[in-house]
Amino acid sequence: MSLLSEKEMIMRYKLGDEDCLEMLIQRYMPYFQSSIKRYRIKGYDVDDMLQECRLVMLCTIQKFDETYNVCFFTYLNRLLHNHFCRLLRNTTTQKRCGEKQCVSYDAFEMDNYVGKGYSQSLNPLDVLLVREQFDCAYDTLTKKEKEAIYQKYYVNKEKKGRNHHLYRGKKKIKDAIRCL
């Protein structure tokens, strides 16, 4: 039965012979294995890639039409290449990064859990605690330390605001002169 041509196997599979599909897959297995070596897709091992090749083979058999005067291998090659490119796009796009880093809610209940997306940013409760502690810390400063903070942050802001206001005035004058 292995002496059948590709076209005969495709016709027999379409008529309901499941063995022809396995024979076609076995015939193209060396090609599948060489194709797998060209693509490295994160999260897919060799068995997963072979399964993807089998799915593409099944779709190719179902879609193949002899009237277009295209060789079956050429059609399979194009569909397999497009399928692997789509897998690469789906696994590397930025907007799907969240799908790869999902963890269960049970993991969040553990006290010492640190997930992949862990950052050292504060949650709202931590921000509130820091604000309360900061208010208490300001009261413990000496008079000179309070004066230094005032000079550093409030006086410099006023100067920057005045300088910006003066700069806007100069810019308006220069623009008016250019228009003349």
Is 127 part of a structural domain of the chain? yes
Range of the domain at 136: 121-179
For residue 136, what pLDDT is reported? 74
For residue 50, what pLDDT is reported? 92
Q: What is the dihedral of CA 52, 54, 55, 57, to 10 degrees?
A: 120
Residue 167 and residue 86 share a domain: no
Is 147 part of a structural domain of the chain? yes
Is 107 part of a structural domain of the chain? no
Residues of the chain whose pLDDT is less than 50? Answer: 1, 111
For residue 121, what pLDDT is reported? 65
- Please state the φ and ψ torsions of residue 151, each to the nearest 5 degrees: -65, -40
Q: How many domains does the chain have?
A: 2
Residue 58 and residue 144 share a domain: no
Tokens of 73: 């291998």
Q: Quick check: pTM over 0.85?
A: no
Q: Distance between CA 167 and CA 178 in Å, rounded? A: 17
For residue 150, what pLDDT is reported? 75
Counting other chains too, the contacts that 3-9 makes at CB distance below 8 Å and 24 or more residues apart are 6/72, 6/73, 7/66, 7/72
- CATH code at position 86: 1.10.1740.10
Using the 3D structure, point to which of 71, 100, 129 is the last residue of a domain: 100
